[in-house]
A = this chain, B = another copy of it.
Amino acid sequence: MNGQHYAAVEAGGTKFRVAIAEGRNIVADTTVPTTSPDETLAATISFIRNWGQVAAVGIACFGPLDLEETSPTYGAIASTPKPGWSNAPVLTRLRDELGVPAAIDIDVGGAALGEWRWGAARDLRHFIYITVGTGIGGGMFVDGAVHHGMGHPEMGHISVERVSGDDFAGFCRFHGACLEGMASGPAIADRWGAQGADLSDRPEVWDLEATYLAQALRTFTYVAAPQRILLGGGVMQQPGLLELTRTKLADQLAGYVTGDTLRQPLDHYLVAPTFGQDAGLVGAIALAMEAASSGG
């Protein structure tokens, strides 16, 4: 076992995945259920400490997260309906108890960083990473860093144009029929009365899903002009959905594009992430490496 070891934490709403990596290779890992912050963070810290010495810890965390660098609560969960987690100091607790440099980002931001270092967005200057699952989230990468504005993006909550004939009210408790309200995993289940995995052979389900996703990707394209969009998450495991979304995106853009990559076909513009369901954990490794090299 040569080389540095890094602790990586993908902090999710139902479970924390915790791994020790040598370089980017995972050499040990565990899963901790997300209960209370005290319990979950203690179990996470205990696993890392019992493994041995690490150079740094990286955390790709569910949101909303305080990412204002000047904020006294930087790296803590922001106000959340999740019981007990509002203001939970995820970053400082791990950093202080482990006594090593630490870095945190929102889960999709971490995933974007990992894809940029080693995956489907390698060497790009500007791209967007989208995940479609229990929720819909997005991270934007600009000039070598995950983009943070005032807080972090919440790309799942943009407005979409209701498809003619679709009378589903929408699932989002804040916005009703926003993108997440119309096209997340729970929205699919609620609209069609079955889980996505059990709707595989119903083309109308995926045609509608692809239509809403293509609308959203058109919006991301026109707002930010990324060089590429990575589209992953559990819902995207449906065979053929990525290809269908790509075709509908080309239709939606209607030829109104300024970059040559956006001329059809969009095979190099809209792609699956390399690390699939591991994108968050791989991103956490990348965050740990950044923390180690910056001394953060």
Contact = CB atoms under 8 A, between A and B. Distances in A.
Say how many copies of this protein the assembly contains.
2
Contacts of A143: 142-143
Contact of A252 (B155, B175, B215, B219): B175
Given A162-B161, A162-B162, A218-B159, A225 B174 contact: no
A227 interface: yes
B223 A138 contact: yes
B218 A158 contact: yes
A192 B93 CA distance: 59
Interface stretch (A144-152, A240-248, A283-291): A144-152
Q: How large is the interface on A (under 10, 10 to 19, 20 to 34, 35 or more residues)?
A: 35 or more
Contact of A153 (B152, B215, B223): B223
A149 B225 contact: yes
Nearest to A214: B159
Interface centre among A65, A159, A162, A256 (most CB of B within 10 A): A159
Contacts of A203: none
Contact of A223 (B150, B151, B220): B220
Interface in A28-86: 63-66, 68, 78
A17 interface: no
Contacts of A160: 159, 161
Interface string A219-251: 110111111000000000000000000000000
A229 to B, nearest CB: 11
A1 to B, nearest CB: 39
A140 interface: yes
A179 to B, nearest CB: 9
Given A153-B224, A155-B222, 18 more contacts: A125-B149, A126-B150, A140-B224, A142-B142, A148-B225, A149-B225, A149-B259, A151-B258, A153-B223, A154-B222, A156-B222, A157-B218, A159-B161, A162-B162, A174-B254, A175-B254, A219-B223, A223-B224
Query: What 3 A-B pairs come out closest when comparing CB atoms?
Result: A151-B258, A149-B225, A150-B259
13 contacts: A125-B149, A140-B224, A149-B226, A150-B225, A150-B226, A150-B261, A151-B259, A152-B258, A155-B222, A155-B223, A158-B158, A161-B161, A174-B256
